[in-house]
Amino acid sequence: MSPEYLKSLSKFLSLILRHKPEVIGIKLDENGWADVDALIEGAMDKNKEMDLPILEAIVASDEKQRYTFNEDKSKIRANQGHSVKVDLELEPVKPPKILYHGTTERFVQSIMLKGIEPRSRNHVHLSEDVETATEVGDRRGDTMIFKVFSGAMFRDGYHFYQSANGVWLTDLVPNKYLDML
């Protein structure tokens, strides 16, 4: 199976495990887990090549480590990025003093006004380094990077979480904790 095909299956898995499980007639439980057998069956019904070894290959090869199996590999979930409401049971942790958010030029004015909002997702996504934030912004072009004063937010009582694949998450970044890089 080519790396390109695995990547296209990973995109499909993102759609199912973060946004629209109903596309293959499955449900996620409250913690975001999908039943592996049901997922394989549903994906095959949609003419996707899918079995446990293929799922294992996606989980292992995904460049952002987007997915995790439970211990006996009977369940799988996305590590972050959901628009479906799920509780990932993440513990609040102390963030670095500064985090970064990559976005696009046309959103800057609105972000300056309203802060960084989660929009369709469960959380605002923040990066630990400028390089990663740049990659996030580059998905849309005209990349702009915000510096987030996460240390000050934490002192002021805001909660931060780190997903299993290292993305920093919070509910909202008010504009007073922001600066352009």
Amino acid identity at 181: L
For residue 107, state whether it binds ligand HQG (rule: CB under 6 A): yes
Minimal CA–CA distance to 62: which of 71, 50, 70, 54? 54
For residue 82, state whether it binds ligand HQG (rule: CB under 6 A): no
Which stretch, 22-30, 68-76, 87-95, 112-120, contacts ligand HQG (CB under 6 A)? 112-120
Enter the tokens of residue 89. 């049971």
Distances (CA, A) of 113 to 2, 66, 110, 117: 45, 31, 5, 11
For residue 114, state whether it binds ligand HQG (rule: CB under 6 A): yes
For residue 119, state whether it binds ligand HQG (rule: CB under 6 A): yes
Residues 134-163 that bind ligand HQG (CB under 6 A): 136
CB of 129 to ligand HQG, least distance (A): 13
Q: Is residue 67 packed enough to be buried (19+ CB in 10 Å), middle (13-18) or exposed (0-12)?
A: buried
- Contacting residues toward ligand HQG, per CB under 6 A: 64, 66, 81, 103-104, 107, 110-111, 114, 116-117, 119-121, 125, 136, 167
